[in-house]
Each structure stands twice: as structure tokens, then as C-alpha cells.
Structure 1
Amino acid sequence: MEPLRSLNTHGQSPHLRVDTSYEQVRNAKRKALTRPNRLRVIVRLITLTVGASIVGVLAHAAFVWYSTRNYILMQPHGIRMRGWPAQMDLIPTWIMLAVAVIAIVVQIVALLTLLRGVYRLRESAWHTWGLFLTSIVGIATWITAAVYFKLQDNKGERNWTLWSWSCSHKDLVNGKMSFQTMCVELNYCFYIAVIVAALELLNLSLFGLHLRKAKRQGSYTTITVQKV
């Protein structure tokens, strides 16, 4: 009976080895894909920080305009007049502000997936596709917002924006904030928007490299398991 028992165990072992091998390969790929990349985390933190700075600057500029738009003040050239034009196009400001807020939310959600309680979300298939999709949409959105922000600024007196007016009338006063300072801050917003788009592209590239490395590691695991 003892030889028969050994023979029966030997006959089942190939199936057990296949199941074990499959689990090892799958677990190796899963761990490789979900392992956080420090450089990508740093890029996300930088993107979150500069995105928040854009929100702060634009929100403050919009508040200054709203609270002083009807002020009639003595201007440097000796005439009492408003510091702002009667018609002001704030659409570029709102668009850039909305893009920055959405980007902040996306970055926060991405960073939250690193927490232990929700870390398993990174193991799902939608995480990879979701990251690619949000990165591509984020890059396109930032570029579009920056281009529109700049194009509207170039229209000048045909269509005054916070940016074009503040940079064209630095000598005027509005009672709360110098236009020269506002001009510098809005210039900052434009260039930072371009930088954020570049950071999003960098983050997407790093994730692509990480994905390729993870798949390669999974292939090595498959070869190793097959040899066992």
C-alpha cells in the first residue's frame, strides 16, 4: 500500500505545481505593479503643491477684483477713477482655477491610494488604466488652459482679463493690491501651468517605465518558477 500511496501523490503533484506556479507569478506581477515609485510620489507632491499655489493666487486675484471693482480712487496721474475697466473677462481665470482644483483632487486621490486602508485599490486593473487616462487628460487640460489663458491675455484692450489689465496698468491703484504685484503673480500662474503639464508628462513616463519593469519582473518570475 505504501508504494501505491507514493505513486498517487506523485500523480497529483504536477497539478499542484501548476497551481502554485500560477499563484506565484500572479502575486509577483501584482506586487511589482502596486509597489510605489518614490520618484513618482515626489513628482505628485510637487504637482500638488504648485497646483495649490495656482489656486491660491488666482482665487486671491479674483477676490481683489470682486471687492474693488467699483472703487473710485485718486490715481497717480491726479484723476479720480476706477482701477478696473467696466467690462472684465474672467473666464480665463475661472478655467485655470477649475483645472487647478480638479488637478489637486486627482493628486490627493492618487496619494491616498498609498495608504494601508485603500492600498489594495492599486492591485485592481482599473488603477493602471485610470492612471493613464487621468494623466493624458490632465496633460491635455493643462496645456489647453495655459494656451487659452495666454491667447486671451494677448487680446489686450479688445478683451481685458485680470492678467492683461494688471500688466498693462501697473501705475493704477485699486485700493487693495498693486497691479504690478498682480501681474507678477498671474505671470507665475501661466508658467507654473506649463510646468505642471510637464510634470504630468514626466509622471506618465515614469509610470510607463515602472509598468514595463514590473512586467519584465513577472516574466523572470515565470521563467524561474518553470525551472523549479
Structure 2
Amino acid sequence: MAAVLARGDIWRGDALASLPEASIPSGHAALDAELPGSGWPRGNLTEILVDRSGLGEMALLLPALAQLSADGGWLALVAPPWLPHAPAWAAAGVALERLVIVRAGRQVAWSVEQLLASGGFAGVLAWPEANIDAAALRRLQVAAEGRSVFACLWRSTATAGIPSPAPLRVLLKPVSAAGALSVQILKRRGRPAARPLVLSILRPGRTTRVVAGAALSLVAARSAALAAVA
């Protein structure tokens, strides 16, 4: 029975599933306690649902991205709606020389699938088209399975009621307290989450002056060099 439960796609109804790949600590103990494997999963698709940017949603992931970066991994952002704030990412511990931005045009899902299949990235974050269909999502889940990669899609909260093959779906909302974020786990492998979490989010770089020119130029150069992926 222990061997069966260790598979990750089978779990007890009163517990959280185990994960075949080591998870990445989120940097928030309360959140890790609610995530199967005690952290953001590798080898599976994660969806984060948010209405708009600027809520601290990227700061929520920066500790995990910094850990992947510290381990020597490459990170890819596919079709981000903004250029990363290089000083903040560097202050959080992300190695900008191993950060790639892909301008995917209308081929976001295809680009993500190729990046996952390459096996060369520790983290792939993407902002797919609003009309991405279930078949494309299923292909991305299959591409992520069995790989030591954190694969994350950013989608609208309007998709919360639409079925998805992603084993983990998280909805983010702002709260009145400054620097806080409501984190609701809509779907996970294991027992349903009882209630949303309210987390205090540290946004690095807000109080530290960092010269950004060289870092931003590096990110922009990598973005231009990889434009052919589209």
C-alpha cells in the first residue's frame, strides 16, 4: 500500500498526496503545510489564477524561483505581460544570467510545451491565451510529468469554474492589509482545503536602491535573442 500511495496520483481521502519529485519550498510555512509535498510541485502543472498584476503575485513565487536559481537552474518566462523588475528579482536571489524571456506571440502553449520537453529548465512560467483549450492544457501537463521542473500558468480568475488537468490550482486575491495576499487552494491532490490563507508578502527591492541598467539590458537581450521561438 505504501508503494501505491507514493505514486502521487493516488492518495488517501483524508490526507495530502505525496509527490514523486521533490517539491520547492514556497518560503511560507503556512502555505507549504497546505501543498502536497510541502511546497510548489515539480513534474506537474500548476495554475495560479489572478485578476490583475501588481498584487504581489510574483513576490509569492520569488523564494521558490530564487531556490531554483541558486541550484543552477534556468528559468523561462513565456509571454509575460510586463518586463521583470530586474533589481527586485536580483535582490530576491534570482540569477538574471539564467533568466530567459520568450515572446511567443500566439504560440504560448506550443512554446511552453517545447521548453518543458527540452528538459533544460528548472522553472517555466507562462501567461497563455485566454482561450487556451483543454487539449492544450493536457499536453502541457503531460509534458511536465516526470520532469524536475516547476511549470506554472497564470490564468484569469474567470477560469476558476472551468475544469483543468492541472493538479494544483491556486486563486489569489488582494486583502486590505498592506503587503498581504489571500491564497485559496481550489484544487490539489488530497483533501480539500478548508479555507483561504492570508500571507504577508515581502516584495524585495522596494527599500533597496540597485543599479538596474546592466541587468535590464541582459534580460532584454535574451528576450530579443529568443524571439524566434514564436
User: Whose relative contact order is higher, 1 or 2, with alpha carbons under 8 Å and at least 6 apart?
Assistant: 1
Which structure has the larger Rg over C-alpha atoms? 1
- Alignment TM-score, normalising by the size of structure 2: 0.24
Bigger strand fraction: 2
